Amino acid sequence: MDIKKLQKIHHPSGDVFVFESEVFNFPVRRVYFIKNVPVGGVRGHHAHKTLKQILICPHGAVEITLDNGKGLQEKVILDNPDDALYVGPYVWHTMKWMEKDSVLLVLASDSFNESDYIRQYSDFLKEITLLSERDQS
C-alpha cells in the first residue's frame, strides 16, 4: 500500500492541501470525485489494466479495500485530507463510505477507457494468473 502525505499549508484563514504529480511519477489526465453515497455504500468492484489512480478523501471517511488477486488484501481508511493513496494497475479495489457526506477525489493517469476496466472478479483472477505465468517464463 502506497500512501503519501500531501503538502499541507496551514493558514489561520484555512488550510491548503497541495498535490504535485511528481510525487507519484505519473501525469494526471483526469480528475473526478464521488459523493452522495450513503453510509455503508460500496463502489468500485473493479481493477484496471493500465490506469494509475490517486485516491484522496477531502471530507469524511472512506474505507478502501485493495486486493492483488494472489491472496493479499489490504484495507485503509482515508479520513485525513492530506493522505493520498496510490492504486496501480491490476489491483481490485472497492470503496466503502464510512461517514455521511464523504467525498472521494480521484486523480487518474488517463481519460476514461472502458476497455481498461476489469469488472468481473473471476476475470481479474484469470488475468492475474496469466500475468504471473508470463512473468515466470
For 33-70, how does the pLDDT look when each residue is reduced to its tens digit (9 = 90+)? 999 999 999 999 999 999 999 999 999 999 999 999 99
Degrees, nearest 5: CA angle 10-14-20? 60
The residue from 10, 11, 45, 46 that is catalytic is 46
To the query of whether residue 46 is one of the catalytic residues in this protein, the response is yes
CA–CA gap between residue 64 and residue 38 (Å, rounded): 15
pTM, entire model: 0.91
Q: Which residue has the cell 476497455?
A: 115
DSSP for 49-65 reads: SS--EEEEEEES-EEEE
How far apart are alpha carbons 125 and 69 in whole angstroms?
6
pLDDT tens string 63-113: 999 999 998 999 999 999 999 999 999 999 999 999 999 999 999 999 999
Q: Which domains does the chain have, with CATH numbers?
A: 2-136 (2.60.120.10)
